Structure formats: structure tokens, C-alpha cells
Structure 1
Amino acid sequence: MRIVDLIAKKRDGAAHTQSELSRLMDGYCRGEVPDYQMAAWAMAVYFQGMTASETAELTLAMAQSGEQIDLSPIPGVKVDKHSTGGVGDKTTLIVAPLVAACGVPVAKMSGRGLGHTGGTIDKLESIPGMRTELGREAFLAQVASEGLAVVGQSGNLTPADKRLYGLRDVTATVESIPLIASSIMSKKIAAGADAIVLDVKCGNGAFMKTAAEAEALAEAMVAIGSGVGRATTAVISSMAQPLGTAIGNALEVAEAIRTLQGEGSEDLTELSLLLAAHMVRLGGAASSEEEAMELVRSRLADGSALRRFARFVAAQGGDASVADAPDERLPQAPYRFEVSAEQEGVVAEIDAAQLGTAAMILGAGRAEKDEPIDHAVGLTLLRKLGEPVRAGEALAALHARTPAADEASRLVREAFRIVPAGTQTARSPLVLSIVTESGVQRMQ
């Protein structure tokens, strides 16, 4: 069958076979399928969708297009975690050592950020001396000895996905659930984990804006994982406001460490414990969600998770003393100034995406792929949803490289909507639902 026939088949709503999808992805990677034909096929998928089995086969074809990591030499069930991204999301820095402290190995490949702040790798590189590039043997050896390694993604991991994603970005086909799900899951599968926990964000600070969209994506990804033999659970969490209080690389590392010290904000601690508990259960260290939650709470409380974080940092060449004194060991911006409320009342809304943009303007993120990141700059929230504030009191603090940041200050001030005290405001829970192979469990 010619490539044009595959395009027509999907255009007309028919399902592809495994061999057709493999041929399509292989041909695209080898340059035999031109961009214009792949763009036409992606648009057909955008309008016609894909069945669960088709999406799973597409995912496998992309995972098999390049390097695949074999984690089988490492004893135990290896569990990975992925977040669809949100403002102030530093949960990996907390969850990974917490899960490893429970005896479940975490072998994680992470990416760099494009947008409001850096990705997990950018955050880790805030730590003096931290190496995020390890050879395969060193990566496996560290997971075996320390129970945890977090490194940058291999250059040859899922090349088909890299090419297709770049094409989707310029052909208005990014917002396709099967293509989003296969893109995310192909990287997770190629990275070798036995089980996967997904944190799917929704709200104004996330890619998926509604709970319904987030659930649809989560169900697609869980179906893919189950379809290829990887136990998968997804947590739908709200991005109606930034997670925690820090936005910016070193600032987020410091907040993650404070959370491991038992001093984290309520929302960040709650979500981190929940994600860790699901990973621990899938990893076989607990037989139920309740037992898993009890175990992760105990490892956080007794300092085991913090000590594991320090060991992990040291193993990758970083300054382990950062675990004891993050504010002294991490980069600091030379200027700090506050953005104050102009009226008295209660914080009713926070535009998380706008705060993310402000952090990027300060230098915490990158608008283009190869732009440098300033690890020291960013924002600290001093008020969150539902909290009272008086006129002239600080809403947030800016950590800046220059003595003035007028545009960022304006964005921060406008991101907060304050209503008179006593005004009824809607509050959504932090965790909206849990998606497993058995279905969707919505939180009350």
C-alpha cells in the first residue's frame, strides 16, 4: 500500500494495521515519507481520531524507531513518572527520592523546558556540580546502587516522535489526543520502565484546559500502557494556580528540599505524596493505596527521602550539602522586590499561565529551544487562592537579575484577582480524578 493510500484510509475513518503504522514511521525516519505527506496524515488523524489499539501500535512504532533502554538487569519493578507540565511543578524532585527511599527503583529520563521555566533537568542543573548526562552503563549502575538516577533524554530516543512533534507544531495538529498520548508514552516505553504514573494537569496553567480534556488524554495514555504490558495510573490534578509557592529553577529546587524536610506547602506535599504512593503500589512495595500512602508518609517524616535525595545528588557529582542548606548553596538572584495588592480582599483567581510568562521574562524559561536559562531568577508566591490580603501587602516576590522588572511586575499584579472579603468564590480540589485500567474515579 502506498503512503497516499494510508493517508486516504485514515481520511475516510478506517483503522490502520500494525504493519501500516510501522511502515509509516520507519519511512518517515528514513526520509522516504516527505513532510507534506506526514502532515496530511496527521491532519487526517486530527479529524478522524484513532482506536485504542491503533494508538498503542503507533506508540510502539515510535518507541522502536530509536534507542530503547533495557532496565531488566536492575532488580525489582522499575517505575517512572511523567507530568504533562504546569507552573511551579517540581514534584519529580520530591517524588523520585521518596519512592526510592521506599525500595522502588526510579530510572528517569527527563527533558529540558520550553516556556515559562526549565524542565526537571534545568532545575537539577541549578545544583552546583550536578551532572545530568550519564552513559548507559553509569545510568544503570547508579539506579542499581542508589535506587535513583535522573538524566537528560538520549539523543536517539524516539526519533520518529521528535520529527513528528516538530511537524505537528507547525501544521496545527498538536491538539490531537492520540498523537499527544503516543508522543508521551513512546518516550516512557523506550525509557524501559515496568510501570508508569502520569500527572495530567488541567486548568489555565496547563496544556489541557478542562478536566474533560485531561481525562480523555489520561484514558488514552493508560490504555496505551496497559496495551503494551506496562501498568499505568494517571492522576488528574488542577493547575488553577501554581503548584507550591516557587516558580523558577533554583527556587523550585529549594522548595522541593524544604518539602523533603517536612516544611512544604500543603498542595505540593499532598500531590507529591499521592503520586509517590501510586508509584510505590505499582512497584510492589505496598499491596494497597492505603498501605502505600502510610509508607511514603513515614519515609518523608523520618528523613529517609531527604537523605536519599542527598545521596542521589552526590552520585551525580552535585553538592550534597544543598539538602541541608538550599538557600546558601543554590544560586541567588541579586535583586528581590515585591509586588503588592492594590485593594483589600481575598484572592479569588490566579492566572498561573501569566505568572509563568512573568518568570520567563525574568529569564527562568526559554522561548526558543537553545536559549540559556538563568537558574537564579523567578517568583515566590506570598498569597494563594482563598487567602486574605490588605492593600499594600505583598502578593509575590520577584527574584531578578536587574534592579527593575516592570513588565514582569505588571504581569504578576494582573495575574491576581482580588474580591471583597465574604464574596463567594469557587474552589476546585487539587486532585480531580484517578484514571486506571478499571476506569475513572472522580474525587468528591
Structure 2
Amino acid sequence: MRLGGRLSAAIEILSDIETRHRPVAQALKDWGTSHRFAGSKDRSAIGNLVYDALRRKRSYAHRMESDELNAIVAAAAIEAMGLDPQALADALEGDKFAPELPDAARMAAFLHKDVSDAPGAVGADIPDWLAPKFEAVLGENWVAEAAALSDRPPLDLRVNTLKSDREKVLEALKPFDATACELSPVGIRIAPIEADGRHPNVQIEAGFQKGWFEVQDEGSQLAALLASTAPGMQVLDYCAGAGGKTLALSAAMENSGQIHAHDSDRQRLAPIYDRLKRAGCRNVQVHDPRDDLAGLEGAMDVVLVDAPCTGTGTWRRRPDAKWRLSEGALEKRLAEQDAVLDEAARYVKPGGRLVYVTCSILGEENRERIEAFLPRRAGFGVENLAASFETLVRQGEGTRAFHVPVAGGTALMLTPLTSGTDGFFVSTLRRAG
């Protein structure tokens, strides 16, 4: 496909997403199915345009002085793909599949216009109703912090220390310019894609097939590390999902002790079996959602709750989600978080810890949920997680996480701008012994 066809395809897919309120991944998949003539490079380039347009559609619209889809896609082509406006116009000359783009003067002006005169939500590329919530938790630099959630993300991997080590995996992934993560001691990073490129399919690499590493954002790795599990412990991963943190906990525990992996959704849990086998995890017992967990009550050293949330911290990877999020959906998540915290707390033994994690940066889902939980469940107190972060994680100078005061203790919040990770919140609560 020529560039004009790629731009038109991106506009078509974005229109489908807006009209039918569909997830971007599904819209891209359906377009590819109905346009089989498009090669893998075409689909990758079109996907980049769509994701970039969704990530920054408010700031692009402001700078282009138009919120029409053709203007947003042109902005993505100029900025994210690094195309000069004149070069873009020249490339589309005579292309019968090319869409009509803004005039040359407007596209040229786009390069020099910024969002300094726009409302904060425009520069942050978020819905207006979320602006005060972001400001409340991110402080005076909230616009820049939120805008970083619209950057292209890196590809992060976690070394499985049950089977390999970081130097060995780095050598195996040398063709992809992989580097060690700055914070996670078992993390490896492949830089964000540039222009119309794409990340390598690391899952076809021999190292992945042998279980040497897993795909996992550095922030998720740190959340598992901050759970501070140790060999011999009894652990419940109460919202295990596909098992990313379960595998990380198993490696940290050196395949000893016992991890109970549970999730209320059988479909989310399904991938965990193959992942455990490939990783060589022998200390994990997977519980079907119908299983009775009564025998675990009051017996766990650590209960990890990776709670259902709005996913505001993952918007680099799922930019369509921020435009679908509503206040009603947020309220539903808050109720689910309260329920799962109350249920999970039953399994913590005296002296044990409850670890609460979300991939959200909203205060309502994080600090406020802990503060609401404490009066309902006597005997739990919030620990100072900032001290654990300094001991276990931080390398180099400077603050790499937000310290969040919670009921006499300190939780942590990670963000793309400050921490270089997806957005995560982590709080640990100790039950009185």
C-alpha cells in the first residue's frame, strides 16, 4: 500500500471506533481480516497511525485547529511518523486512495503551534472530567505527567531467574538493542518504536520458548517485587488473571513455598497453565473460580490483590480506553475494589501482609480505597513502602516514584514520566500479629 492508502485506512478504523465504541485492537483486527491484501508492514504502519491519533487526539486537534479525523491522522503522520508537511503532501500527490488533508498552510502551522494556550486537559490529552482528579494526585506538574501517558511505550521483559539470568537474556536479545531496565533488577527493555516501525515478536525467540523471559511492564515487575515474598512463604495471588505477577512471585520464592493463583474469571485465568509450564514454576497451585478457598483463610503470609481498575496507568498501550471511560464505569470499579479487598483480607494470617495493586493513578481507586477499607477491617495498618522501594528497587539519584501518604503509612505510585513505567499504585498493609 502507498501512504495515501494507509492514511485512509487509519481514518476508516478511527471512524469505526468512534461510531461503534469498539476497542482499538478489535477494530484493527477486523479491518485486517476484511483487507487481506494489506501486508504486515502496512498493518503495522496503519496501527501506529491509529494508536498515535488516539493517544494525542486532543492536543493534535488543538494544534491542527480541527478535530476532523483527517486532520488528526495528518498530525500523527507529521509528528509521530516524522514526516515533513510538504513531504507528506508531495507523497500523496496523484494517489487516488489518499484522503483529503488540511491545507498546506494549516499543516505547516501545526509544527510551530503548541498547547501552552490550551486548557490543561488538552495538553494532557485526557477528558475534561478527569483533569481535577489528575491534578489532585500528580500535583503542579500534572499536565506533563498525564501527557507522558500518551507516549509510545517500550517493550519490557522480565527475566525468569528460575531458568536464566539478565546477562544471558540480554545477549540473546542483542539484535533488538535490548538494555537493562533502570529500576527492576530482572527487567529488560526494548525501546519504543519509531516512525512506522514495530516491536520484534519476541515470543518466537528461542529464549522465550525456553522460558527464559516473559513480557511484563517494568511497573508490574516492581509491584511483584514490592510484595516482598520470600522462599518458603504461603502466598495467595487473589486476582491472578493470566499469571504475570504469579510467575514473578514464583521466581522470587525460588520455586519453594506455595503460591495459590485464583481469579474469578476462568477466561482470564486460562493462559496461566501454559505460562507456568514454560517458566518451570513448580510451587503454584491454580484454583478454579468455583474452588472453595476456605482452607486458606487466615493462613497466608502474603495476599496480593491486583485489583480490577480503570487502567488509567496503561493508556500508553490502550489509548482508546481513556475516551471510553465514564464516571459510571469508575463508580463500578470502586465497588469492585472494596469487595475484593474485603474478601482477600480473610486469607491474611496474623502478622501477614495484604498487598493492594492497581494499574491506575486515580486517587479514588488507590489511596481512598485503602482509607475506606481500614475502618471495615480492624487490625490492619499501612506500612511504609517508600523505605522498601529505596532498599529493593531504586538505583541512582532522584525520586523515581510518588510517595503517597495513607493512614500513617506510605504507598507508592509509579508513572511513565517519573518512573519510566506504566502507571501503578502499590500499598502494603500488615495485619496485627
Same fold (TM over 0.5): no
| TM-score calculated relative to the size of structure 2 | 0.25
Greater relative contact order: 1 or 2 (C-alpha under 8 angstroms, separation 6 or more)? 1
TM-score with structure 1 setting the length? 0.24
Larger Rg: 2
